[in-house]
Amino acid sequence: MENLWNLTLGSGAKWSGIISKGKLIRIRALEDGANLSGLLFNAGNLTESYNMPDTLKAQHTSRLTRGNVLMSDNGRAMASIVEDDLDWHDPIGGYTTRQLTDEKYGKTTFQENQNEWFRSGEENLAMELMRNGLQFRDMVPVFNLFSKIKVDEFGDMHFIEGHCKQGDTVTLRTEMDVVLLLSNTPNPHDPRKDYPSVPVEIEVLPAESVKEDDYCVNYRPENKRAFENTWDYYKLVTQ
């Protein structure tokens, strides 16, 4: 299928933009050990956003993979994971802060290091929130593509190293017109000492229309109801 748009996000880079419904967003790790933090807002109503607890509890999961739907705080399907080379993307690890970045990897500044300085998820996302008419108060838990955090029986969180290999790909399909915010910054739980951020490639392609037997729609009855809520919403806001 024809590629509409592509972009390579280098180490520490960020991006945000509107992507309308019915598109595939294919994201590929260009080296081992990628982590891409993301947030979604409804492009037509910025008070609606990706909601981690609603997504996890509806699907009884603490890991995201093919079949899962990223749900909004208004009970709607925003995007679904239609293809996945990995079986686990992390929704609970959070983003790096400026403080954590300085403490873990050493203090860097633009003046000293120019564009090699280490960006934080906190600052990257704050800037992209502002760019889209939002503020830092709109910050909610991010999803971290390509990372795996296992929780043991005591509740302790363990980052699994070596999870993502070069070339691993995950594809999201937009079910709503969304504002997508991305920060290519480390997972805060990654123990590697050298700033672990590697380039990722993003391609956007048209998606085929969602069919009745769609894998994500039928993955769980909850997913189907979230899709129905989205379709109902569009009956009112589009002609």
Q: Which residues here bind other proteins, judged by CB under 8 A?
A: 47, 51-54, 56-58, 60-63, 71, 73-76, 88, 92-94, 97, 99, 134-142, 150-157, 188-189, 222, 225-226, 228-229
> In the complex, what is the shortest distance from the CB of residue 105 to other proteins, in angstroms, rounded to a whole number?
16
> How long, in residues, is the chain?
239
> In the complex, what is the shortest distance from the CB of residue 134 to other proteins, in angstroms, rounded to a whole number?
8
Find all residues with CB under 8 Å of 131, minimum gap 6, and list them.
Answer: 16
For residues 6 and 189, give the distance between their C-alpha atoms in angstroms, rounded to a whole number: 29
> In the complex, what is the shortest distance from the CB of residue 221 to other proteins, in angstroms, rounded to a whole number?
9
> In the complex, what is the shortest distance from the CB of residue 156 to other proteins, in angstroms, rounded to a whole number?
5
> In the complex, what is the shortest distance from the CB of residue 70 to other proteins, in angstroms, rounded to a whole number?
13
User: Closest by alpha carbon to 86, among 68, 64, 56, 60?
Assistant: 64
- Which is nearer to other proteins, 24 or 48 (by Cβ)? 48
Three-class secondary structure of residue 50 per DSSP = strand
Geometric angle at alpha carbon 186, from 182 and 191, rounded to 5°: 160
- Which is nearer to other proteins, 112 or 153 (by Cβ)? 153
Q: What is residue 95's DSSP assignment?
A: -
> In the complex, what is the shortest distance from the CB of residue 113 to other proteins, in angstroms, rounded to a whole number?
23
For residues 6 and 44, give the distance between their C-alpha atoms in angstroms, rounded to a whole number: 23
- Which is nearer to other proteins, 90 or 202 (by Cβ)? 90
Phi then psi dihedrals of residue 211, to 5 deg = -95, 165
- Which is nearer to other proteins, 100 or 205 (by Cβ)? 100
C-alpha 73: how far from its chain's center?
16
- Which is nearer to other proteins, 16 or 51 (by Cβ)? 51
Find all residues with CB under 8 Å of 140, minimum gap 6, and list them.
Answer: 39, 49, 50, 51, 52
Exposed, middle or buried, 232 (CB in 10 Å: 0-12/13-18/19+)? exposed
- Which is nearer to other proteins, 124 or 202 (by Cβ)? 124
